Amino acid sequence: MKRLSVVKMNIRTISKNFTIPKCDKFYKGRVEMDTHADTFLAGKNCSVLNFSERICDVMPYSDAYEAMVDIPIVQAATGYTAPDGSQYILVFNEAIYLPNMDHSLLNPNQLRHYGMDVKDNPYCGRQMMIRKTDPDDDEDFVAILKSQGTVIYMDTWTPTDEDLNELPHVVLTSSKEWDPHKVVFPSCLDLEEKPIYDVYNMRVMKSLIVPTVVSSGPLEDDQLLAPKTFISTERHSNTSPEDLSETWGISVEQAKMTLDATTQRHGRSAIMPLSRRYRLDRMYEPKRLRCHMSSDTVDPRCVSIHGSRYCQVFANNSMFCVAYPISKKSDCHIALKNFIRDYGAPDSMITDGSGEQTSKDREFSKCLRKNNIRQVITPPHRPNLNPAALVLRELRKRWYRSIFRTNCPRSLWNYGLPHFAKLMQLMASNAANLKGRTPIEAITGVHISQYLDFS
């Protein structure tokens, strides 16, 4: 009889705050307008798309109640049905996840700060609504607001995975870190300098600004109140250096360096407990690249064997390069969409002044705006200002050397240019501030969230 040995295993537990409960039933609820809410509060009628790896403490309006601690900040989604029967997925970034709430709370000023047109005044004599103008679409998105007593709200429902994959998504709040205490309304910028007028009697009134009272001495401990905000001033991730040290079997110091040098922004969307590695689903926005990219249309001077006439190249000053064959210059937007799908969306895109890449009504510019990519246009007759020019010379040189060495037909450029561009991504170098890294590593960084839960 064989003797079985029992091996003691260390099991790392994950906070329940960062798990998505399984939705067993369809739930209808309200999204109520509340200007006292610091940010969007997601209740039962919302689904979590991903977690931000940040948490906060939710302070009550009365000091008689205790604060809720370690509440996750998420990207939430809720379903909305328009009066004509059309269904949408409303996406709220920088939301607080409170799954036990029967309704959700929405600060209309957070939407206005993102450019939404919110009409929530029941005395204006017009239909209350939330309108989002899409420059890439002929029709605006409109959500109708209702009222019951003094409460302004809209009816929503909990979306299923099928709804999230099939219905159109409408983003209503910004993905940037939201600090409501730093927001200044345009009409309040010069409040201290301008007098306040009585709109009925047209007479100048005294300023309503309350002067700050400075204490004559140090405050006692019981007089120091915690700030009622949900943004931490320091990095507050649910993965600590100690956790990473135990999971990966490295020192705590090395784990801290790893967390500082990498990102852990990918959200978990699997049902806990995890029994295997799940793919990063529920990610409906493109991955962001830590760089500025440039693009140019290359003329290989011959038609490829598949009928392509031009090649759209994306490059940067770190010798990163990728090439996509296109049939005509106006198809440059197809190459851009493929680049964002394959690699991600950069912070900005540098192009020349060609109409295919700069006209606002062209698909290339629409794709840039849709993915929040800032476009930078170089001056006329100054191709040297485009970082892609140097990389293009290197790419052409490698392709022509291959032609002379192997006697390869020129019409195979639709294979040759993408191939050598891919090789250039993987070549480590000390040039262009790479410091021994590869160009692909320099633009994408290292994301380790999918490795944090498994040793």
- Return the CATH class of domain 292-444: alpha beta
What distance in Å separates the CA atoms of residue 426 and residue 221, rounded to the nearest whole number?
58
| Total-model pTM | 0.52
Query: Which of 55, 130, 52 lies closest to 93 in space, CA to CA?
Result: 52
- For the chain, the structural domain boundaries read 23-182, 241-284, 292-444
pLDDT at 9: 37
pLDDT of residue 177: 82
Q: How far lies 326's CA from each of 133, 297, 336, 352, in Å?
A: 31, 9, 11, 18
Q: What type of residue sits at position 388? A: A
Q: Which residues pair with 56 in a beta bridge?
A: 71
- Contacts (Cβ under 8 Å, ≥6 apart) of 244: 250, 255, 258, 259, 452
Q: What is the pLDDT of residue 319?
A: 85
The pLDDT, as a whole number, for residue 35 is 85
Position 336 scores a pLDDT of 94
Amino acid identity, position 131: R
**Model pLDDT, residue 276:** 45
Low-confidence ranges of the chain (pLDDT < 70): 1-25, 61-62, 135-138, 186-238, 247-250, 254, 257-258, 260-284, 432, 445-455
> What pLDDT shows up at residue 274?
47
